[in-house]
Structure 1
Amino acid sequence: MKGIIMQKKTKLFLGGAMMALMLFLSGCARKATTTGHLKPPTGFFYGSIYKYFGIPIQHLMNWLAGLLGGSGNAYGWAIIIITFVVRLILLPLMLNQSKKMTEQQEKMRVLQPQLNLIQEQQKKATTTEEKSQLSSLMMQVYQKNGTSMMPSLGCLTLIIQLPIFSGLYMAIEYSAKISASHFFGFNLGKSSLTITIVATLFYLAQGYLSMYHMAPEQKKQMQTTLLMSPLITFFISLFAPAGLALYFLVGGIIIVIQQAITTFIITPQIKRRIDANLKEHPVVEVVTPETFAHPDVTPNSTADNGSAGTAKESQAEISHEENRKRNAGKQQHHPHA
């Protein structure tokens, strides 16, 4: 369906943008490499990211590490605190998005039989006119049942986080002290396959939980979209410093907790509310199996023919009534002998 396709395209686009950004940032690091140290970038693009995001996060990490003792695992804990604060700020927005997406999925569930009928006909449609009529029918199914074809922007939180993890990446790369620090044996300045795999598993778990209440058809349609987040996490963390992978790992833990709340508390409440609403306001049936019972007749032509037929029948009834009255009048003027 169009809403799901648009959602997939949006996430694919944002995933590609995130990957491209990481390639830009890593390319910047390679060009800046000198004899064993990394020089901060000075160009307009990289220099601006470093100036407005990298340096402030660097100062914040140094300050937090100082509060935590300044040695040992201090910088790792600083990253965890930053991640927690960012996720806490984003929590109301993420819960609101989860609520809207769940409501949309539940509404889609009750409209699915009608949408399936239209989708089957779309596969058979050969002319532009037929496709246009079927698209119009699909719009009617959504509009008459108070549902939007446009999905809620579930990637908004990813967009908001782009400056954060871009700045975190540069803060680690261009600080000799931070990049040389360790967190429970992991060098925060070098990539870590272990942290990468663990972070990816949390995002896979989140995707699995998000599909818990979905119908099998919806699960099949959403699988590719829900794999995007784990794949993006894996590839970025695989080539980024372990400090950035730690950011994703902690974020993954928090998002699994949030998804569990959505799946086992929010979703059942929404389902009960929608089911109660359906009792008072049943689904408007725009199409039924009978709508497409005659393959040569389109829904619009059926409606037009039906209207024309009704008009002809009404006209015939009027003519019949007039003839009957006329004959009755003649009988009164010329009685039988």
Structure 2
Amino acid sequence: MKLLKRYATILVVLFDIYLFTGGYGVHGRIYALVSKPIAKILLQIADAVGGVNAIGWAIIILTAIVRLILLPIMVSQSKKTTISQLKMQKLRPEFEKVQAAVKTAKTPAEQQAASMASMALYRENNISLTGGVSWLTMAIQMPIFSGLYLAIMHAKGLKSASFLGFDLSSPQILFSVLVLVIYLWQAYLTQLHVPAAQKKQTGALMWFMPIMIAGFTFVSSGALGLYFIVGGVFVVAQAFITHLMYAGLKKQVEEDFTILKTADDLLKPTGDNGQSAENFVNQTTRRVRPEDLRPRDVTDEKPREGRNAGKQNRPND
């Protein structure tokens, strides 16, 4: 199953690269292969709805359908990320020991050994280095959201469309304010269970993103503002579902996750002969000596003995 997922991830990522390297405008590959079919569906929904608000309702309906389809995938991704973060919290004291060993290392070999122990903590305790992020999930989402975004940006009849009295072809301050409020709410829910140490690293970015998205909608069309409003509602729903699952996930990690290898296990002398971690690194990362690179003299020091040698030494007749 893991092998199948790996091959699927590689194929989807290669397809994404093919799409995004073909240009991002109306003449690009992603617009031709993804956005045009989405735009046709958008116009069909608008025709079915009818009326002056048809384009606006079509944007809401289509965005909601796409988000609903992807919501289980997004929630599953959030669940895996949360479990990985909880395991990291439980393992934090071990990482602090390794960090202390790196700082107190007296030689480069000791420092390298301690760094290797840090990586080994992840591997030996079955914790993902990517924090539970699924590259396949991300690769699937990117062309869908980008294609929907471009379809709405270049939708036919958008310049003359309106929604509840708001011109969808020009920026709308109210839409930007709603986007800011919605994504600030999502950031708040996301930060609820983040450890204090991690908040210092990621907190500023989490609060900056809503401002950036709101600023983008402020200078773009009302149609894109409407798209981000609907998408934001589903992002908040995803964060709220993760918040409700947090207590259960924490209990699950406390019961099921056990530390298989501690920092002391990985930093102590290894091998049956009491070999130190420093010596182990020296052996596994053996450097080539300069004298090993010099050309060797393959000529024998002594003359060859035997039949040919005897002939060479025979006096001339």
* Distance apart, 1:124 and its partner CA: 5.2
Alignment correspondent of 1:335? none
Alignment correspondent of 1:207? 187
Matches of 1:237 and 1:126 in 2, distance apart? 54
* Distance apart, 1:61 and its partner CA: 1.9
* Distance apart, 1:230 and its partner CA: 2.9
Normalising by structure 1, report the TM-score.
Answer: 0.64
Alignment correspondent of 2:263? 286
Change (3 A) 1:253 1:125: farther
Q: 1:115 aligns with which of 85, 95, 100?
A: 95
Alignment correspondent of 1:276? 255
The answer to whether the aligner puts 1:56 opposite 2:37 as a matched pair is: yes
Check conservation: 2:80, 2:133, Cα contact below 8 A: no
Matches of 1:94 and 1:170 in 2, distance apart? 22
The answer to whether the aligner puts 1:134 opposite 2:79 as a matched pair is: no
Residue-by-residue CA offset, 1:246-275 (whole Å, 9 max, x unaligned): 1121111112112111112x2211111121
Change (3 A) 1:197 1:115: farther
Change (3 A) 1:282 1:64: same
Q: 1:245 aligns with which of 222, 225, 229?
A: 225
Partner SS state of residue 53, structure 1:
helix
* Distance apart, 1:113 and its partner CA: 1.1
The answer to whether the aligner puts 1:83 opposite 2:63 as a matched pair is: yes
Partner SS state of residue 263, structure 2:
coil
Alignment correspondent of 2:202? 222
Change (3 A) 1:160 1:149: closer
Partner SS state of residue 127, structure 2:
coil
Matches of 1:179 and 1:157 in 2, distance apart? 34
Residue-by-residue CA offset, 1:136-185 (whole Å, 9 max, x unaligned): 11123223322222323367656544434444444444445223211223
Q: Map 1:178-189 onto structure 2 (within 5 A).
A: 178-189=158-169
49-58 or 101-110, which deviates more: 49-58
Matches of 2:120 and 2:145 in 1, distance apart? 42
Partner SS state of residue 229, structure 2:
helix
Q: 1:105 aligns with which of 70, 85, 97?
A: 85
The answer to whether the aligner puts 1:198 opposite 2:178 as a matched pair is: yes
Alignment correspondent of 2:292? none
Normalising by structure 2, report the TM-score.
Answer: 0.68
* Distance apart, 1:97 and its partner CA: 0.6
Change (3 A) 1:81 1:127: farther
Residue-by-residue CA offset, 1:288-320 (whole Å, 9 max, x unaligned): 9xx9xxxxxxx45x66899389xxxxxxxxxxx
Check conservation: 1:205, 1:256, Cα contact below 8 A: yes
Q: 1:143 aligns with which of 119, 123, 135?
A: 123
Query: Mind listing any 5+ residue stretches in structure 2 that lack a counterpart?
Result: 1-15, 277-317
Matches of 1:246 and 1:158 in 2, distance apart? 23
Check conservation: 2:172, 2:222, Cα contact below 8 A: yes
Change (3 A) 1:114 1:252: same
Change (3 A) 1:115 1:197: farther
Change (3 A) 1:105 1:251: same
Superposed CA RMSD in Å reads 3.3
Alignment correspondent of 1:319? none
Alignment correspondent of 1:259? 239
165-174 or 250-259, which deviates more: 165-174
Partner SS state of residue 114, structure 1:
helix
* Distance apart, 1:229 and its partner CA: 4.6
Amino acid in the other structure paired with 2:38: I
Check conservation: 1:172, 1:241, Cα contact below 8 A: no
Amino acid in the other structure paired with 1:57: I
* Distance apart, 1:82 and its partner CA: 0.8
* Distance apart, 1:56 and its partner CA: 2.3
- How many residues are treated as equivalent by the alignment? 256
Alignment correspondent of 1:307? 274
Change (3 A) 1:277 1:93: same
Amino acid in the other structure paired with 1:152: G
Query: Mind listing any 5+ residue stretches in structure 1 that lack a counterpart?
Result: 1-16, 29-40, 292-298, 310-337
* Distance apart, 1:239 and its partner CA: 3.6
